[in-house]
């Protein structure tokens, strides 16, 4: 059995050879058609070795995606069916139709350097699939730039694309309880790629409906979408579930056909299937029908409250739901314009149905996140935060049993430095039916910030169990370990998150800061250089390293770089560097300025090692009491 099979267009052989050599240098056995002997029946040999390989790397190029690439497409299709497909690109191309749902890793322009971060990402995915550990020689340097510090995590969308590049390969087969289930993305059969948001949204609505039922454990969206092209048995094994729901959606201007199947993940046999042909306006009822039928097939008692459970916070207006699905489909985009577009779409949904609680909650959450990341001044920030609080309170009034409302409320209270209220809201969210992954993540972080360490670690584990492929959940575990000053464990957890999403800056920063606290400065510098030069976390790290090494001028340059890039929105970070310089007065002055603008960074002051030098000062303790009560 080969570890890796490489599928590519023959004309690209010279460009593929460095990849083969690099993988073999890591001790992997690699088969590619350069190994076909002169007397072998070459197609039979290829089929045999592809079937035996545990990982199939498909190299998409201008040639393999063109008319002559049919053999590569055939091999890719077989790999998808086996759950061994790992796509990469060596040209600026998109994989052919049918192969683009999993994001390909790019090796365009790669010259064979095994320390290159793009190759390291490929290596990490291959080794994860094989159950081995990749050599650590480099890190990914690319990533989106945020205008300002983000506070708590709003959801998993921001890392979905990075995770799609191979993070699902981390999972191992394990026993699964009978009522565990994953809902894979429904296939879009409408003939219009722009309608994928709708088929994905229908799957998410079914997922949410099932999650609201007592007795059913549902894998969250990020992990399910990573296995979009896998068969049911492979998906069940990777996600450690006993059951898998698959389906398809065909939508026309007036009608909708939804087919759904519940499959036994152990043997691939259908436990239930049905096709619904309805007027488009009946889409909401179809979702409820699917969830109810799946629940019955799993022998889950719905009781008299089933119809209520399946519609917590929802709407009976299909146009309003469509607007919400359009908005949530873009949640991976953290740009200011994307936030404003989502807020507009949620607002339009509310105009169609003023009692659409989910739309109110999501609008409020996006308003608050925009206010804290993109508002041009403090006046606009405070105004939009007030609107966000109003939106979320309206959601809770409409649907007091909807977890999303309390989850959003917890984020808003956190960002306004109301720690106790944030904890209370998030505690409520995780105990209600169907909480989203952000509720667990945010609650874990808040618990850690108030020194409830064991509870925080438990909540982080619950987040991972609910969405095992979500890098944000694993980042939260790193955060919790860092807050508890368990630096070796934080390093392991951060590397785990980065193996899923190499672009996750938060995980990278916790790795850097933990290495710094352990005195591993050279390693910390290497990891720090993987962050963009103007990222506030890198500038803080550089300032702290300089201060601790006695280079006051370099530390002050780091502060000035922060000021130039972020203005007065990073007063808390100024305080961290000044504290390390033992400039107590300036550090405390920066903390007072942070309090005046309700800088969310203050929420970390109880556990932040960077402010330890001023922690015993009475003025510091007075600010801390204001923040935490």
Cβ 623 vs Cβ 595: under 8 Å: yes
pLDDT at 471 over 80: yes
Q: Which of the pair, 410 or 567, is modelled with greater confidence?
A: 410
> What's the pLDDT band for 133 if we cut at 50, 70, 90?
low
Considering the entire predicted model, what is its pTM? Answer: 0.66
Higher pLDDT, 213 or 465: 465
pLDDT for residue 302: 46
Which residue's structure tokens are 């510098």? Answer: 525
How many C-alpha atoms does 149 have within 13 Å on its Cβ side? 25
Residue 41 clears pLDDT 80, i.e. is over it: no
Average pLDDT over residues 33-54: 70
Which phi and psi (to 5°) does residue 178 adopt?
-60, -40
Q: Write out the H or E segment, with its range, that includes residue 187.
A: strand 187-188
Residue range 32-54: mean pLDDT, rounded: 70
The yes-or-no verdict on residue 176 having pLDDT over 70 is no
Rounded distance between C-alpha atoms, residue 600 and residue 570, angstroms:
9
Enumerate residues 6+ apart whose C-beta is below 8 A from 580: 543, 544, 547, 548, 555, 610, 613
In angstroms, how far is CA 441 from the centroid of its own chain?
A: 11
CA distance 346 to 364: 9
**Which residues, 6 or more positions from 211, have their beta carbon under 8 angstroms from its beta carbon?**
218, 433, 434
pLDDT band at 569 (very low <50, low <70, confident <90, very high): confident
Please compute the mean of the pLDDT values over residues 165-171 and round it to a whole number.
38
Interval 350-377 mean pLDDT = 91
């Amino acid at each position: 059995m080969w570890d890796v099979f490489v599928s590519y267009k023959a004309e690209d052989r010279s460009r593929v050879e460095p990849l083969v050599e690099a993988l073999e240098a890591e001790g992997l056995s690699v088969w590619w058609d350069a190994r076909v002997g002169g007397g072998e029946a070459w197609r039979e040999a290829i089929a045999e070795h592809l079937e035996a390989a545990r990982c199939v790397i498909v190299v998409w190029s201008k040639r393999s995606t063109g008319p002559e690439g049919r053999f590569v497409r055939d091999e890719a299709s077989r790999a998808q069916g086996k759950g061994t497909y790992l796509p990469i690109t060596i040209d600026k191309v998109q994989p052919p139709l049918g192969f683009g749902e999993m994001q390909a890793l790019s090796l365009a322009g790669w010259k064979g350097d095994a320390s290159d971060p793009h190759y390291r990402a490929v290596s990490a995915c291959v080794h994860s699939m094989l159950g081995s550990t990749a050599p650590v020689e480099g890190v990914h340097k690319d990533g989106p730039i945020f205008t300002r510090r983000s506070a708590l995590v709003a959801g998993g969308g921001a890392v979905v694309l990075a995770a799609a590049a191979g993070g699902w390969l981390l999972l191992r087969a394990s026993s699964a309880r009978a009522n565990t289930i994953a809902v894979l993305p429904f296939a879009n059969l409408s003939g219009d790629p722009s309608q994928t948001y709708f088929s994905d949204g229908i799957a998410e609505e079914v997922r949410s409906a099932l999650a609201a039922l007592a007795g059913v454990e549902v894998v969250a969206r990020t992990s399910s979408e990573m296995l979009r092209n896998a068969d049911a048995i492979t998906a069940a094994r990777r996600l450690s579930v006993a059951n898998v729901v698959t389906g398809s959606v065909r939508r026309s201007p007036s009608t909708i056909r939804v087919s759904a199947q519940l499959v036994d993940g152990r043997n691939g046999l259908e436990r239930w299937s049905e096709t619904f042909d309805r007027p488009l306006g009946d889409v909401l009822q179809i979702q409820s029908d699917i969830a109810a039928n799946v629940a019955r097939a799993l022998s889950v008692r719905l009781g008299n409250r089933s119809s209520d459970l399946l519609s917590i916070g929802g709407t009976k207006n299909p146009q309003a739901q469509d607007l919400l699905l359009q908005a949530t489909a873009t949640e991976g985009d953290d740009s200011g314009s994307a936030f404003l577009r989502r807020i507009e779409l949620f607002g339009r949904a509310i105009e169609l149905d003023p009692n659409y609680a989910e739309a109110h909650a999501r609008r409020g959450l996006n308003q608050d996140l925009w206010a804290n990341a993109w508002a041009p001044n403090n006046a606009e920030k405070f105004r939009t935060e007030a609107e966000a609080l109003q939106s979320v309170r309206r959601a809770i009034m409409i649907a007091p049993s909807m977890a999303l409302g309390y989850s959003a409320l917890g984020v808003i209270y956190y960002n306004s430095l109301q720690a106790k209220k944030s904890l209370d809201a998030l505690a409520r969210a995780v105990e209600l039916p169907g909480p989203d992954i952000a509720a667990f993540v945010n609650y874990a972080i808040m618990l850690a910030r108030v020194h409830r360490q064991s509870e925080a670690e438990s909540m982080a584990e619950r987040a991972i169990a609910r969405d095992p492929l979500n890098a944000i959940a694993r980042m939260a575990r790193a955060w919790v370990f860092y807050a508890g000053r368990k630096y070796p464990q934080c390093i392991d957890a951060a590397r785990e998150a980065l193996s899923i999403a190499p672009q996750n800056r938060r995980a990278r920063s916790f790795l850097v800061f933990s290495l710094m606290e352990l005195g591993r400065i050279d390693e910390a510098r290497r990891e720090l250089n993987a962050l963009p030069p103007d990222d506030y976390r890198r500038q803080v790290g550089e300032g702290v390293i300089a201060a601790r090494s006695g280079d006051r001028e370099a530390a002050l340059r780091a502060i000035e770089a922060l000021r130039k890039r972020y203005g007065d929105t990073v007063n808390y970070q100024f305080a961290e560097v000044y504290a390390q310089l033992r400039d107590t007065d300036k550090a405390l002055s920066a903390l007072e300025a942070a309090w005046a603008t309700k800088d969310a960074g203050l929420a970390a002051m109880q556990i932040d090692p960077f402010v330890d030098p001023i922690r015993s000062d009475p003025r510091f303790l007075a600010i801390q009491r204001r923040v935490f009560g």
